[in-house]
Amino acid sequence: MPTLAPHTDPALLADQIRAGNRTSLARAITLIESQREQDRERAYELLQILMPNLSNAHRIGISGPPGVGKSTLIDAYGLHLIEQGHSVAVLAVDPSSSLSGGSILGDKSRMPRLAQEENAFIRPSPSDLALGGVARRTREAMFLCEAAGFDRVLIETMGVGQSEIQVAGMVDTFLVLIQPGAGDELQGIKKGIVELADVLAVTKADGESVGRAREAVAQYGAALRYLRPKSESWAPKAVSLSALAGDGLSELDGLLGQHREAIAESGELDSRRQTDLVQWLGELVEEAVLQRLRQRDGARERLTAAVGEVASGAVSAYRIALDLSRPADS
């Protein structure tokens, strides 16, 4: 095995991350996002060193469709947190970023004021990972940020499908943003996402929209009461805010804090975190097994041949899946 480049030596990287070195933190996240097997091994070594000493950060998922005001809110709320003496890491999960060309500059300029703060760290979306991979690497990036001492980790998601559910499982508090006045508040995809919310914020409550936002809060407040509660220790709450005017940020912060306190007191926080570690283990095992299957001699050829057989209806997909996953010597 070739000698490790000094900047990716896990023990050294771990020391630098713990000392608050941002360049090393960014490099470590790049390492965990790498698909190369050698990098994976170093990444796991790094996580193993760091996992016992994570900060007790509040993990907050922030979700909503494009244009709802996520980045404006994260910029304003992140600054609010820093003013209160917190340190803030922001991770973005954008499964479409490979299409939209998400980039470091792109994400930083979406949160221009926060990006300038010494106590903030903003990490853009991985752009070339499969959907499941995005969330898994996000969990690992979150651990790295906590090892670096951040006490607030904000994970931004785009309001599209599976990544919401995955992220909701790995954070303590899930905040859903809604824009008032679209007239379809409780329909379609929004309903699914609203069910995941611990706190729901109606955005852009300023100017002419103040009244509409207030109505939306009342509507959602009522709707949330009819949903099957996600938690025994917390009833979801709705709030309105204006990130541009800076209104409602303290109230939002208060609700997010109350949620975490409630689930910490009831023991749900610990059990949720344990459940998520088990989930992580399952994902890692799956990944390792798949990787091993792919690396077998002739695996690619067998799969290519199988695609033709399945497409023509000659053999069932189930039969082929069993064959391909059978141990090599049987």
> Which residues contact ligand GDP (rule: CB under 6 A)?
64, 66-72, 203-204, 206, 242-244
d(CA 8, CA 97): 26
- For the bound state, the minimum distance from the C-beta of residue 22 to ligand GDP, rounded and expressed in Å, comes to 23
List, in order, residues 6 or more apart from 277 with CB less than 8 Å away.
none
Nearer to ligand GDP, 120 or 269 (CB): 120
Which of 205, 201, 272, 275 shows the shortest CA–CA distance to 236? 201
Phi, psi of 166 (to 5 degrees): -65, -45
Nearer to ligand GDP, 72 or 233 (CB): 72
- For the bound state, the minimum distance from the C-beta of residue 189 to ligand GDP, rounded and expressed in Å, comes to 15
Location of structure tokens 């095995």: 1
Which pair of structure tokens corresponds to residue 132?
């499941």
Nearer to ligand GDP, 30 or 72 (CB): 72
- For the bound state, the minimum distance from the C-beta of residue 103 to ligand GDP, rounded and expressed in Å, comes to 15
d(CA 247, CA 250): 8
Nearer to ligand GDP, 67 or 327 (CB): 67
- For the bound state, the minimum distance from the C-beta of residue 240 to ligand GDP, rounded and expressed in Å, comes to 10
Residue 216 identity = A
Nearer to ligand GDP, 72 or 279 (CB): 72
**CA torsion, ordered 154, 157, 158, 163, to nearest 10 deg:** -170
d(CA 272, CA 255): 19
- For the bound state, the minimum distance from the C-beta of residue 207 to ligand GDP, rounded and expressed in Å, comes to 6
- For the bound state, the minimum distance from the C-beta of residue 64 to ligand GDP, rounded and expressed in Å, comes to 6
Distances (CA, A) of 312 to 6, 93, 306: 52, 38, 10
d(CA 243, CA 87): 19
Nearer to ligand GDP, 244 or 299 (CB): 244
- For the bound state, the minimum distance from the C-beta of residue 180 to ligand GDP, rounded and expressed in Å, comes to 11
Which pair of structure tokens corresponds to residue 146?
């906590």
Nearer to ligand GDP, 148 or 243 (CB): 243
d(CA 159, CA 195): 12
